[in-house]
Structure 1
Amino acid sequence: MTEKECDYHQDEEERARRRIGAAVLGLLVAAAVVIFLVWAILHPHGPRFVLQDATIYAFNVSQPNFLTSNLQVTVSSRNPNDKIGIFYDHLDIYASYRNQQVTLATILPATYQGHLDMTVWSPFLYGTTVPVAPYLTAAMMQDLNTGMILLNVKIDGWVRWKVGTWISGRYRLHVNCPAYITFAAGGSSSSSAAAVVKYQLLQRCAVDV
């Protein structure tokens, strides 16, 4: 084989590789455009969460800097999309005070939420002698003495979107529900909630997907 024939075959192979590369790139671009158009047309919205109520069974601050709490909350989630379903793969719910987690995380059951469907959970949140930072204990005692404390019921987990038979990858979900709880003013450090009290809250939650 002459040198000219070798150069010719090399050029043909190079052109074939370029055509294959261009075809693959074109398919990827076309798929990306289709996905973008479907996403734009459907215009998905994140789920909407509402903290409906909270029942306080125990909320006791003891020295030095420990909190024992037991509460039940009712949280609802609504899928506002009429063409998109939502998978909740794993959800942890817990209570926090000034960004410190003060109860153990409770796992909510995995759930699929159809178009415009609503789901209601009523988990128990509890923590026994949970250590609290000293400055937070002082702030908590001050709040209890004034008769009101702000807890945040938080949910962390993963969601997936379903359109027809197509299911997306997992997206991180963060939910933050403020709960303003009132106690008898001047609650002591050993017992701040003497009786079971249920609070109707109907508080809209902040949702970040």
Structure 2
Amino acid sequence: MGKGSKPHIDIYLWLLQIIIVLALASLVIIWVCLHPKTPTYTILDFYIPALDDSNNSTVNRNSTIIFNLQISNPNKGIGIYYDQANVSIQQAGNQDIGGSFIPCFYQGHKKSTRREVTVNALEQFWKTDLNSTLVDLILRLKTEVRYTILGRKTKHHMVNLEGHVSIGSDGKLVEIILWLSLRPQSPTYTITDFSIPSLDNQNQNTTSSVISNNSNSTVSLVLKIKNPNKDYSIYFDDINMKLYHGSDALGVTTIKAYKQDKKENENFPRTIDADGPLRNVLREILKNGTTELRVGLDTKIRFKIWGRKTKHHGVQLDGRVPIGKDGKISGKNKGIKLHKRSKK
């Protein structure tokens, strides 16, 4: 009886192995389906008719920029629904030239689609020196897509892209980056803590003693820097921070250059020696119970994409910090996010 049951055990073990293999294969298939590849965008050609001396047609006198974009779905068995894509063109220095859009459409698996895009350039663009050897332009595209997996549509996925092209004096393409690269998101900068120790209630005896006390003229703060990118690390140059009260500079501090990995957060406690200028701040707080300080931040960053570092991107930010009578951030603010500095 025991010997006769052994073949049955072997069969059961064989079936179990088959089930395990099939289960693992199913998991792999499900993982692939749940992680579809992003569509690719290729600039096939780029043309500014007004710069082409060989073109004597009326189009030569208009203000259009024309380019062809190839959009490819690299996924097998997965279709893509594209929302309207907004396209913009900028010149070096982030000067806007014009924009256009690509209407919504559906694309089957392993398919490629070509779209011609025409942009009516702003008047300022034609006033620049377009007869120079090269004109460097930046093309940006933003849209959302949904994938069809096993007959069902996924949630929307953001597509944010950037490509660089160089145009010759004849208005035709000289140099092209074929594949528009995924445009990385800028890091975020937040003041999560701020205090003026000399205004600590435990240390306050009289108004005059606080103002005349030179033993502690410091301001303490914590800057949180977050890299929101899941695929790109960031290289920071020295980060210079300056504290202002109105137009008066109170002091500066520096965070040394460093690298931040993808999806990483860093907290930087810093102390600023405000010395003499801090007295005016203390007087205003003790008189009114509140004041407002401004934190300015300047640095340059580079992203690491596909093993290569991008060019430097300048960062100039400001944040207004309301201060209460205790020398800390007033109100219900959990943090002060720094924003792009106004040009005014």
Say yes or no: TM over 0.5.
Answer: yes
Alpha-carbon distance in 2 for matches of 1:166, 1:53: 35
Cα deviation for residue 173 of structure 1 reads 1.1
Counterparts of 1:130 and 1:198, CA distance in 2: 18
Whether 1:30 aligns to 2:176 is yes
- For the 8 Å contact 2:284–2:290, the answer to whether it is kept is no
Letter paired with 1:58:
S
- Which one has the bigger helix percentage? 1
In 2, Cα distance between equivalents of 1:110 and 1:83: 21
Change (3 A) 1:28 1:100: farther
Shift of 1:140: 7.7
Query: Residues 146-180 of structure 1: CA distance to partner in whole angstroms, max 9, x if unpaired?
Result: 10011112221111111121111212112222221
Counting aligned pairs with the same residue, the percent is 17
Whichever residue aligns with residue 202 of structure 1, its letter is: K
Return the offset for 1:144: 4.0
CA distance in 1: counterparts of 2:263 and 2:247, whole angstroms: 32
Instruction: Supply the distance in 1 between the matched residues of 2:317 and 2:286 (Cα, whole angstroms).
Output: 25
> What corresponds to 2:335 in structure 1?
203
Partner Cα separation in structure 1 for residue 244 and residue 308 of structure 2: 36
Amino acid at match of 1:43: R
> Which deviates more from structure 2 when the two are superposed, residues 105-114 or residues 140-149?
140-149
How many aligned positions are there? 156
Picking from 43, 49, 53, the partner of 2:193 is 53
**Which is greater in Rg?**
2
Residue 129 of structure 1 corresponds to: 276
TM-score by length of 1: 0.63
Please state how far the C-alpha of 1:43 moved relative to its aligned partner. Answer: 2.8
Cα deviation 1:57-85 (Å, max 9, x = unaligned): 237667xxxxx841110110111111222
What letter corresponds to residue 164 of structure 1 in structure 2? W
Residue number in structure 1 paired with 2:253: 106
SS in 2 for 1:174: strand
* Paired residues of 1:177 and 1:203 also in contact (CA < 8 A): no
Secondary structure of the residue aligned to 2:272 is strand
Partner of 1:87: 235
| 1:167 aligns with one of 283, 289, 309 | 309
TM-score (norm 2): 0.40
SS of 2:242's partner is: strand
Q: Distance in 2 between matches of 1:152 and 1:92?
A: 14
1:75-120 per-residue CA deviation (whole Å, 9 max, x = no partner) reads 10111111222111111112111243211x2110212111111111
8 Å contact from structure 2 (residues 189, 337) kept in 1: yes
2:267 equivalent in structure 1:
120
Contact kept in structure 2, 1:161 and 1:167, CA below 8 Å: yes
What is the identity, as a one-letter code, of the residue corresponding to 2:272? L
Which structure is richer in relative contact order (CA contacts within 8 A, separation 6 or more)?
1
Give the root-mean-square deviation of aligned CA atoms: 3.0
* Aligned-partner Cα distance in 1 for 2:174–2:197: 56
Where does 1:65-76 land on structure 2 (aligned, <5 Å)? 69-76=217-224
